Amino acid sequence: AGKETAVATEFDFKGYMLSKAAAVNRALDLAVPLAEPRRIHEAMRYSLLAGGKRVRPVLCIAACELAGGHESVAMPPALAVEMIHTMSLIHDDLPCMDDDDLRRGQPTCHRAFGEPVAVLAGDALLALAFRTLSNPQSYPSSLTVPPSRILNAVAELARCVGSEGLVAGQVVDIESTGLAEPVPIDRLEYIHLHKTAALLEASVVIGAIVGGGSDLQVERLRRYARCIGLLFQVVDDILDVTKSSHELGKTAGKDLASDKTTYPKLMGLEKSKEFAEELNRDAKQQLEDFDREKAAPLVHLANYIAYRQK
């Protein structure tokens, strides 16, 4: 037990996140040069390089390394998931969707570049994601990745973002907005599992696939990712309530007053917190058969998602 505690406390999670995110940022910068036509590449770079926590690419790299792969092998899938995440944010912010003015601390893509260019920047990032993931030249020439692994990863990513994944979550979310009745809990879970968890799942799974994980390892990691995906949203809902009630100095926060259905609204704040604890526990249980030291980044990533303050 002494050794376990030592491993858990010795792991420098902040340093790990910062160094992996910095490597991802450098690679993203190189992956989208300011080519002609200039305006579209400016828009793609504007949204892609605007910051963001880079949770998905770091998960991808951590899963690849846990499965036995090298960071450089994880970079193409890691870039691909961040490109897809960014394009989904660009499209989500459009006037025909959420109509948002700010994203990642700056004007949204359509506010800065106009709607047509923002739509196209999203489309181009989606295409570039699959190009980056599938192009053998994206991978280090010294480390061969079998083409069958890349093909599996492409299929996995396509499934997770398409009409049975991210897009499904978004469309059901749109259909559930503005209704008189609160959204039932199974529908709320469906939205989160597709809109948020699907891409986190793809990030972890394709990292593990290119890293050479066994089928059993990939499935364990898939379950881990689903748990942290749902956890991400439950914690988001809890923070909405606790932050706004703290800021407003009253018990009923902004979220309880708005018409958005959330976990605290459906099951109360205490039960939501218990649910978050349970998801964090379940996520970490999936990592138990892996080498404890190598699993440390994913253990800490689950805690980071569970205990973040914003």
Distances (CA, A) of 127 to 11, 134, 254, 305: 37, 11, 38, 29
**Which residue in the shown chain puts its C-beta closest to ligand GRG?**
52
Q: Of the two residues 20 and 195, which places its CB atom closer to ligand GRG in the complex?
A: 195
Asked if 25 and 17 touch (Cβ cutoff 8 Å), the reply is no
Q: Of the two residues 14 and 292, which places its CB atom closer to ligand GRG in the complex?
A: 14
* Least distance in angstroms from the C-beta of 98 to ligand GRG: 8
User: At a CB cut-off of 8 Å and minimum separation 6, what does 291 contact?
Assistant: 66
For ligand GRG, the binding residues (CB under 6 A) are 52-53, 55, 84-85, 88-89, 91-92, 97, 104, 126, 161, 166-167, 170, 195-196
Q: Of the two residues 85 and 222, which places its CB atom closer to ligand GRG in the complex?
A: 85
Q: How far apart are CA 79 and CA 141, in angstroms?
A: 18
* Least distance in angstroms from the C-beta of 254 to ligand GRG: 18
Q: How far apart are CA 295 and CA 208, in angstroms?
A: 12
DSSP 118-180: HHHHHHHHHHHHHHHHH-GGGS-TTS---HHHHHHHHHHHHHHHSTTTHHHHHHHHHHTTT-S
Q: Of the two residues 145 and 228, which places its CB atom closer to ligand GRG in the complex?
A: 228
* Least distance in angstroms from the C-beta of 248 to ligand GRG: 23
Bridge partners of 103, per DSSP, are 106
* Least distance in angstroms from the C-beta of 193 to ligand GRG: 12
* Least distance in angstroms from the C-beta of 296 to ligand GRG: 21
Q: Of the two residues 269 and 305, which places its CB atom closer to ligand GRG in the complex?
A: 305
Two structure tokens written together for 186? 């199974």
Q: Of the two residues 8 and 167, which places its CB atom closer to ligand GRG in the complex?
A: 167
Q: How far apart are CA 162 and CA 178, in angstroms?
A: 24
